[in-house]
Structure 1
Amino acid sequence: PDLVDIALCRNPQTAVSWASVRAAAAQVGTAKAAGLPTANLSIGPVLSSSKSFQDTGFIDSNGNLVGGSSVLTQINSSARLAVNYLIFDGGGRRAAIDAATAQQRAALASYADAAQGVVLNVITAYNSLAANRAVEAANLANLSFATQSRELATGRKRAGVATGADQLQAETSFAQAQLTLIQTRGAIATAAGQLAVAIGLPPTQRLDLAPTAPLASGDLLKAGADALIADAERLRPDIAAARANVDAAAANVRSAQSLGRPSLSVNANNTVSAIDTTVDRNFASAGLSLSVPLFSGWNTRYQIAGARAQLEQQTALAEQTRQQAGLTVYSNYVALDNALSSLATARILVRSASLSADLAQGRYKAGVGTFADLLNAQSALASARQQLVQAEYNVRTGNAQLARAVGSIGEAVDAERR
């Protein structure tokens, strides 16, 4: 569970989804802002210069024209405050708010879905690392058995009661066990790196992990497939997101329909102008404005048709998501049930193979069995151990995958904490 907490805080996937939630929340604010009045203030000083000529000029004693023209320079300034409020727009603003709110719900559901995906990835990576470590323990046991068989074959060869072929087969089996152990340790290093990345850390980060928890008993299976599918339709965030997208598409249809309806707004403005520092004009006005769309080249008609098509698309996608969720739940239900049955059989197989290997080793030591029989029993034991590890991994991962398919993986993690 601590790994899950770290992953939810550090994994980039959750950060991306949360950013989408914040963006959707901002879109809701933008849609609501359209229902508020707008006010604009404009100020504009203007410097002007004019030159005029008059017929009253005369020529002075030096021959220069005096008084024939004049230059006027002045500063004109104006300030205008305009307030506008859209009273009625045929339901367009309400539809835009509904669409943005639905998209916000979809973003929140997508965030929850991403978080559940991160949790599943962490659990899967952790189980993979635990399984590889269990394989290492099994391979160490196989190597120990192969070592005993090699020593037994070498001793019988020295005693002259076994052939060189037995010793060579024993050496081959021992080397194969060593090679398998080396490969397993490489797989452990890779699995540890994958787990580190799953929780948002560098792949080289060393992790000190607690012992693996006992295997769960598959309590989810007790509910039955039908009940789990019904729970998935209620709990899965991707289904909730798909339904929210349907609501958003329906709101977009209403928004498109509002484009063909009249709109009514009220506006008021006050303009003050001055020359230099003297106010020479103060004008105020207020009024109602009715806008009736008459013809837009069938643009509104096409927008409504497009919005309705998108609504049909989102409705179909929601149904597809629901059906796929049911199939995913059922597939994981069957897989977990099969994994639990396989686990019980694998445990019996390991017990039988272990007894058979001990018996074959004893018979060879007593000289009444062949080394080929010992190798076959040794190989069967190694295979049984591998199958037991795989069966345990399948049960652990199957529990998590079924919980994820139902949409209750968070509850599964909380149950482990308790």
Structure 2
Amino acid sequence: MTISRLSLFLIVAGIPGLALAGPSSHDDPRGLMPVAPPPVSAGQAPCGELPARPLTLPDLVDVALCRNPQTRVSWASVRAAAAGQGIARAGNLPTVDLSVGPSFVRNDSFNSGGFVDSNGQIIGGSSSSNQVNTSASLAVRYLLFDGGGRAARIEAADARQRAALALYADAAQGVVLNVVTAYNSLLANRAVETANIANVAFARQSRDLAAGRKTAGVATSADQLQGETSLAQAELTLIQTRGNIRTAAAQLAVAAGLPPQTTLDLAPPAPLASGDMLRRGADALIADAERLRPDIVAARANVDNANANVRAQQSAGRPSVSVSATNTLSAVDTSIDRNSGVVGLSLAIPIFSGWNQRYNIASARAEAERQTALAEQTRQQAGLSVYSNYVALDNALASLVTARALVASATESAALAQGRYKAGVGTFADLLNAQSALAGARQQLAQNEFNVRTANAQLARAVGGIGEAIDGERR
């Protein structure tokens, strides 16, 4: 199986130091936050207005990936996780703080024992003074060593970013599958409508034939009434099917991120899948799924995150070394009073915290064990999903062959029954039975065509390569 751009990016994103980063900006000085989502398929069109032509299934998928709120929610989570990478890397740089602050000081003293000197000044009595003190301090602090906690927190943030990207890919593929399913449902309802139109035409012929035979005096009123009833039932079924078409069209519009009342002009669908994926075998498809499925990639990233958190908790119980430097300038009124500088080296050694740290480590280890078990569970469920959809597609293709043969035989049988009744050698009950069998066969053919299209998409989704399936239908 070929690898889509999104699947390839998920593989590359697992390599430390590689990420889909954007240019640096005020909010993202390191350039860690991705600007645009990676494409789900190689041929995905850029976001824009609806194409001014009949829409194919790939067109609808491209529109949905741009407009469906689910993809926007997941992409916002990716950008938030990328911001978390920048937060974790902040510990690699020093912190610099500048504080500047004036203060107003007023001193009042009271003394009743003062006297007046020869110049008329009060000596030793009450007095007051005002002054403005100003200070400016620049402090630089840097963590030299923390027992590996800083590196562990960066590894955890990188793992969370990989998980967020994988979850975005999973959500995007889910949106694609929803569009494909809604599209196939609309096609199936339209096929049912075509079958029901043919059923109405056949029922009308049978009714007219019964009415003609009654007029000729060679059939009873019961035949004509049964013909009328059969025609009314066929027309009622056609009306219900057309209502289903309108509902299916609204569901497709919403799946594409459009208002439900949007009128979609659809191009003729691509031919039915031939089952090429089945020739690779279930084992090969399961192996592809373990490599490509976004939920497996996310589960493995969650394990990496949990293991990094264990190391981060362990580092909290180890000594840390920091260096700091401070320079302070102070002034009284407008005269500089003092300029002092301090450089310090600090060693912090955790001694006892009520065993809090031990329990933090135990909790982190338990979480790592849980994430490891969840990753294995996800892997097993992915294998089951691939195999189940593999069997479903194989069964749908086999059923389609039988359904086509059933329609052919039912068509011939109905025509024969109609001819026999017209010739007066068959009963109207035989004609109605053949007519009902033909209607049922046409319904089954439409349903089996829907099953084949949907099963093919579901198997591609289960493997993690639904983007390639969509690219296969681009024209």
TM bucket normalised to smaller = over 0.9
Does 2:269 correspond to 1:212?
Answer: yes
Q: Which of the numbers 333, 336, 354 marks the counterpart of 2:411? A: 354
Q: Which of the numbers 295, 301, 308 marks the counterpart of 1:238? A: 295
Does 2:357 correspond to 1:287?
Answer: no
CA-CA distance at 1:112 after TM superposition: 0.6
| Amino acid across the alignment from 1:416 | E
Q: Deviations over 1:36-94 (max 9, x none)?
A: 1001111121111112345442499xxx9955322111111111111100000000010
Q: Deviations over 1:200-225 (max 9, x none)?
A: 00100110000111111010000001
Does 2:343 correspond to 1:316?
Answer: no
| Amino acid across the alignment from 2:91 | A
Does 2:118 correspond to 1:57?
Answer: no
Count of residue pairs brought into register by the alignment? 415
CA-CA distance at 1:339 after TM superposition: 0.3
Which residue matches 2:424?
A: 367
| Cα distance in structure 1, aligned partners of 2:108 and 2:82 | 59
Q: Which of the numbers 224, 236, 247 marks the counterpart of 2:281? A: 224
TM-score after normalising by structure 1: 0.98
| Cα distance in structure 2, aligned partners of 1:316 and 1:346 | 44
| Amino acid across the alignment from 1:57 | F
Which residue matches 2:209?
A: 152
Q: Which of the numbers 334, 337, 344 marks the counterpart of 2:394? A: 337
Q: Which runs of 5+ in 2 are unaligned?
A: 1-57
Q: Deviations over 1:207-265 (max 9, x none)?
A: 00001111110100000011111110011011000000000000000000001000000
Report the structure, 1 or 2, having the larger helix content.
1
Which residue matches 2:249?
A: 192
Q: Which of the numbers 69, 75, 79 marks the counterpart of 1:22? A: 79
Does 2:386 correspond to 1:326?
Answer: no
After the TM superposition, which residues 253-268 of structure 1 pair with which residues of structure 2 at under 5 Å, given as runs? 253-268=310-325
Does 2:111 correspond to 1:42?
Answer: no
| Cα distance in structure 2, aligned partners of 1:44 and 1:57 | 39
SS in 1 for 2:473: helix
CA RMSD, aligned part only? Answer: 1.3
| Amino acid across the alignment from 2:316 | L
Runs of 4+ in 1 over 6 A off after TM superposition: none
Which residue matches 2:308?
A: 251
Q: Which of the numbers 54, 68, 73 marks the counterpart of 1:11? A: 68
CA-CA distance at 1:281 after TM superposition: 1.1
| Cα distance in structure 2, aligned partners of 1:101 and 1:52 | 64
CA radius of gyration, larger in? 1
Q: Which of the numbers 172, 179, 187 marks the counterpart of 1:115? A: 172
After the TM superposition, which residues 377-388 of structure 1 pair with which residues of structure 2 at under 5 Å, given as runs? 377-388=434-445
TM-score after normalising by structure 2: 0.86
| Cα distance in structure 2, aligned partners of 1:58 and 1:94 | 74
SS in 2 for 1:416: coil
Q: Percent identity?
A: 74
SS in 1 for 2:295: helix
Q: Deviations over 1:365-386 (max 9, x none)?
A: 0000000000000000000000
| Cα distance in structure 1, aligned partners of 2:146 and 2:117 | 71
Which residue matches 1:376?
A: 433
| Cα distance in structure 1, aligned partners of 2:335 and 2:203 | 109
| Cα distance in structure 2, aligned partners of 1:51 and 1:410 | 82
Which residue matches 1:169?
A: 226
CA-CA distance at 1:154 after TM superposition: 0.5
After the TM superposition, which residues 87-166 of structure 1 pair with which residues of structure 2 at under 5 Å, given as runs? 87-166=144-223
| Amino acid across the alignment from 2:330 | S
| Amino acid across the alignment from 1:79 | A
Which residue matches 1:307?
A: 364
| Amino acid across the alignment from 1:170 | G
| Cα distance in structure 1, aligned partners of 2:329 and 2:255 | 65
CA-CA distance at 1:400 after TM superposition: 0.4
Which residue matches 1:276?
A: 333
| Amino acid across the alignment from 1:179 | L
| Amino acid across the alignment from 2:166 | A
Which residue matches 1:389?
A: 446
Q: Deviations over 1:311-348 (max 9, x none)?
A: 00000000000000000000000000000000000000
SS in 1 for 2:321: strand
| Cα distance in structure 1, aligned partners of 2:117 and 2:329 | 44
Does 2:75 correspond to 1:32?
Answer: no
